[in-house]
Each structure stands twice: as C-alpha cells, then as structure tokens.
Amino acid sequence: MPISEAEAVVMEILWQRHPQGADEVVAALATRTDWAEPTIKTLLNRLLNKGVIEAVKDGRRYLYSPVLTREHWRAQQSEGFVQRLFGGRVAPLVAHFSERGKLSKRDIAELRKLLEELDDER
C-alpha cells in the first residue's frame, strides 16, 4: 500500500531507530517539521492501519517499528517513478538528466562502471 510524503517522513524516523514510542517520534520530528503532536499520532495510526509499521505494547505506551523496509519502499518509489515518467525505461531517465547537465563527471564514471559490470555478467 502506498505511503504519502508525510508518512514517509515518519517512516524515516523509524527506519533510523526502532522501536520508538510516539513521544520519541514526536520529539524527533520537532526539529524537522512544524507538525503538532496529534498530527504525528494520526500519521502513526495511518501507517499502522496500512500495515507498514507494527506496535508492541510496552506498559502504558506502544513502541513502533517498521515492517516495510526502506529498501523495499525505495524500490517501489523508483520503479513507479520510472514507469510513470519514462514508460518503465531507465535510458530515457539518464538521458533526461544528461540533457539538463545534471550528471557530474563522478555520476558518469559510476554509470560507466555499472554498465561494464552489467556487460561482464552477461
């Protein structure tokens, strides 16, 4: 199930360190956002309902941990992006950034190395 940009911000906190109580998540987001505590708790509940985090009772509070890994979420996001904007093809994506001067010499070197490694595997 897709997660919103706001939910992804909360997930980042949980991916960095878990388990965490709602109070810890609120404190961590206080320096990054201007969201009120009820907003953050609502986001935690949404994530819980989507099944991308779990909650374990710890005394009078719940400790939240991610079920969805950052890597799996990143794969979903990147594949969806490439599919929507470039018809599922990576070459037009790279060409897009190249045409706009967004690829550094380091990026180009890394792409060359990756392509060589892919050629060696085949």
Q: Where are the domains of the chain?
A: 5-66, 89-122
- The helix or strand, by DSSP H or E, that contains position 84, with its residue range, turns out to be helix 70-86
- Enter the DSSP assignment of 8: H
Which CATH class, in words, describes the domain spanning 5-66?
mainly alpha
- The helix or strand, by DSSP H or E, that contains position 13, with its residue range, turns out to be helix 5-16
Q: Is 56 left (phi over 0), alpha (psi -120 to 50) or beta?
A: beta
49-95 residue pLDDT tens: 999 999 999 999 999 999 999 999 999 889 989 999 999 998 999 89
In this predicted structure, what is the pLDDT of residue 18? Answer: 97
What sign for the dihedral angle of Cα 11, 87, 90, 100?
negative
pTM exceeds 0.85, yes or no:
no
105-121 residue pLDDT tens: 999 999 999 999 988 88
